[in-house]
Amino acid sequence: MTIDSLDPEHFTFPDPASALDDPNGLLAVGGDLSPERLMIAYRLGIFPWYEEGSPILWWSPEPRAVMRPNEIRISRSLKRRIDRGDYEISVDRAFRDVISACAAPRPNSGGTWITDAMISAYCELHRRGYAHSFEAWQDHELVGGLYGISLGRLFFGESMFSRASDASKVAFVRLAELMDRWKFPLIDCQIPNPHLSSLGVVEIPRAEFLRYVEQFGQPPDRRGEWCL
């Protein structure tokens, strides 16, 4: 099976259900990272993910990793850290710093998928009030955080980083608490990993995820700068 090449003049995507099984979720190639195309992609449950020097690749994996905000799992050690106030958590205070930190090479990794073009595109979405960052601070130094896209009543998580123990986890807990308060039913986490699974992230069928997107991912959007 082949994947579709996107028309550079039209912001359309193939049916997410037509994504490849191997590599899991690969749906389309090409296009651009314009705000208009990105908004359409996310409202269809599709996200970009590619390496520097590669064409833009678009994905809709099966199954999908998600967090139900009211079901977040907080270990005793993490709760103690939160109760002690080890980190100050803010929202939308340092978006470019957070995404740039997420783009930094990780241990045992040869590179990053958050390219300069990605950083520029998501900073523009932040300027338009769609992309948001949660920051963890220690002694006025940024030591962890995460960023993602908010559409309708869904939050589409993109990446997180940590320079101090549990800093990104504490930021994620604050994200989940805010989403629960606002009655957001899901946080999209795209692909599972042990870090997310420890917080209670689960996998659901793509078809179920897309029903959530259709029901909850449409306007009105909670745009603008957020605060806790």
Position 152 confidence tier, pLDDT thresholds 50, 70, 90 = very high
Residues 6+ apart with CB under 8 A from 107: none
- Neighbouring CB atoms inside 10 A of 75's CB total 12
Q: Given 3.30.70.3550, 1.20.1250.20, 3.20.20.120, 3.30.43.10, which CATH number is that of 4-61?
A: 3.30.70.3550
Residues of the chain with CATH 3.30.70.3550: 4-61
SS3 15: coil
Sequence-ordered alpha helix ranges (H) in 128-165:
none
Position 129 confidence tier, pLDDT thresholds 50, 70, 90 = very high
84-110 per-position pLDDT tens digit: 999 999 999 999 999 999 999 876 555
CA distance 45 to 60: 7
Residues of the chain with CATH 3.40.630.70: 65-216
Strand segments, DSSP code E, in 2-103 are 4-6, 26-30, 47-48, 57-59, 64-67, 88-91
- CATH architecture entry for 65-216: 3-Layer(aba) Sandwich (3.40)
**Percent of the chain whose pLDDT exceeds 70:** 96
Q: Which whole-number Å values give the CA distances from 89 to 93, 133, 174, 178, in the listed order?
A: 10, 10, 8, 12
Position 113 confidence tier, pLDDT thresholds 50, 70, 90 = confident
Q: What is the dihedral of CA 125, 127, 131, 132, to 10 degrees?
A: 160
Q: Is the backbone of residue 145 left (phi > 0), alpha (psi -120 to 50) or beta? A: left
CA distance 80 to 129: 33
CA distance 43 to 210: 9
Structure tokens at 172: 């994620």
Tell me, what's the pLDDT at 137? 98
Q: Which of 58-62, 107-111, 220-224 has the lowest mean pLDDT?
A: 107-111
Position 1 confidence tier, pLDDT thresholds 50, 70, 90 = low
CA distance 208 to 103: 30
Per-residue pLDDT at 60 exceeds 80: yes
Order the strands of the 57-59 sheet from edge to edge.
Answer: 4-6, 26-30, 57-59, 47-48
